[in-house]
Amino acid sequence: DLVRPPSTDHGNMPNMRWSFADSHIRIEEGGWTRQTTVRELSTSVELAGVNMRLGEGVIRELHWHKEAEWAYVLDGEVRVTALDYEGGNFIADVGKGDLWYFPSGVPHSLQGLSPNGTEFILIFDDGRFSEESTFILSDWLAHTPKSVIAENFHLDPEIFKHIPEGEKYIFQGTLPGSVEEERPTGKHAKKSKYNFVHSMLAQEPEITSGGEVRITDSKNFPISKTVAAAHLTIQPGALREMHWHPNADEWSFFIKGRARVTIFAAEGTARTFDYVPGDVGIVPKNMGHFVENIGDEPIEMLEIFRADEFRDFSLFQWMGETPKKLVIDHLFKGDKENGEKFWNEVKEAQKDPVTKYQKTDVKAGGSVLDGASDEL
C-alpha cells in the first residue's frame, strides 16, 4: 500500500505493479488489444503480456512471432489454427480456463466464436515483445512484388490485383463451421501430431486449507517448453504461503478479488503492493513473498513463469525439513516454550500453498501484515 504501507516495509524497490487499464488500447474492427511489456513496467523483463478481445467471427489474422506465445482464455470461446514444424495442420476450439501455446515461429490464427465476445491474456517469453513486431500475412504480401507472389503460388499476377495493401491485424470474418468441416482436405494435407491446447481449469486441483491450486507446465502440457503457470484460488482470509521461486521471475495476473503482496528483496528491503482485477505483478526470481486476500471474495490469479517447469520453495516446509535445534537456535533461542509450539506446528513439513489459519486465538479481523491499510 503506497499511502499507508506496513511498518515492516523498508528500503527502495522498483515498481512491481501495472494495470492493463493504464495501457494504450489499440481498437480495430470488432476487437481491441493492449499490452504490458518492459516499456510499461520496467521490471517485466522476462515476460510480456497482451490482453485481447475479439467479437463473434472477428479474426486475429494469420501471423507468427519471434517469441513463443502462451495464452489463457478469460471469457468466451476462440478457434485457433496453426501449422507445425512438420507441415501438419492444427485446429481447435478453446474456452474459458483453457490454454494454447505456440512455439517461436509457428504460424497461427485466432478467431472469436462467442456472441458476447471472447477475451484472453497472451504471454510472450520476452519482456521486450511488442504487438507491432508481429509477422503478419497481409503485411508481408503488401510488401512483396505481385510478380513474385504470382510465381510463388503458380498463378497469374492479375489474381492478386486486389489483395490488401497493408496489414489487416484484427478484422471481421465469417463464422467458421465445425473443426472437422474446416480441416484442410488437400492431397498432401495432414493433421498435426502435436497438441497446442490444454484445459487448465479441467485439471484436478490441489485442495489446500485456504483455496485451490492447478499447475500447468511441460510435465502435463509437453509443448509448453518456455512458459509454466499456476492458477490459484485464494479464499477470503487466506494466504498464498510465504515462498519464493528459484528458476524464474513471477509474472502475476489478477483476475478476481483484492490482493496484497509483500516482496522481500534482502538487505533489509521489503515493499508491499495492492492488486485488483486487471493488474499485473512482478516478483523477481528468488525474492521471498506472499499473497494475502484482503477482500471479501476469493482471489483468482495466475502465476506465470518463463520456465519449462513450475518450482517454488515453501518457508513452512523448509522449517519442517530442517533439524529442530537449528531452527530453535535461529528463531527461539532462550524462548523454549514458544520454540516448542513453533516446532510442533512445522515438524510435519506439510506444504500448504494456499493456507488459512484456523486457530481461535487470532484477533478478529487481524491481518498477516500488522499495521497495513485495507484501503487501495
Q: Taking the CB of residue 264, how many other CB atoms lie within 10 A of it? A: 18
289 annotated to a ligand binding site: yes
- Round to the nearest angstrom and report the end-to-end CA distance of the chain: 7
65 annotated to a ligand binding site: yes
Give CA–CA dist 186/188, Å, rounded. Answer: 6
10 annotated to a ligand binding site: no
198 annotated to a ligand binding site: no
Q: Find all residues with CB under 8 Å of 91, minimum gap 6, and list them.
A: 79, 80, 81, 179, 182, 183
Strands (E), 3-77: 17-19, 25-28, 31-36, 48-54, 58-64, 69-75
Q: Per the residue annotation, which of 56, 212, 292, 303 is the catalytic one? A: 303
243 annotated to a ligand binding site: yes
> Could you write out the DSSP letters of every residue in 212-262?
EEEEESTTTSTT--S-EEEEEEE-TT-EEEEEE-SSS-EEEEEEES-EEEE
Locate 75 and state its grid cell: 471469457
154 annotated to a ligand binding site: no
∠ CA 236-240-245 to the nearest 5 degrees? 160
Q: Give catalytic status of residue 61 as yes or no.
A: no
Q: Is 308 left (phi over 0), alpha (psi -120 to 50) or beta?
A: alpha
162 annotated to a ligand binding site: no
Interior/surface letters 325-336, b for 16+ CB within 10 angstroms, e for the rest: eebbeeebeeee
Residue ranges of the annotated binding site for Mn(2+) are: 63, 65, 69, 108, 243, 245, 250, 289
Active site residues: 303
Residue ranges of the annotated binding site are: 63, 65, 69, 108, 243, 245, 250, 289
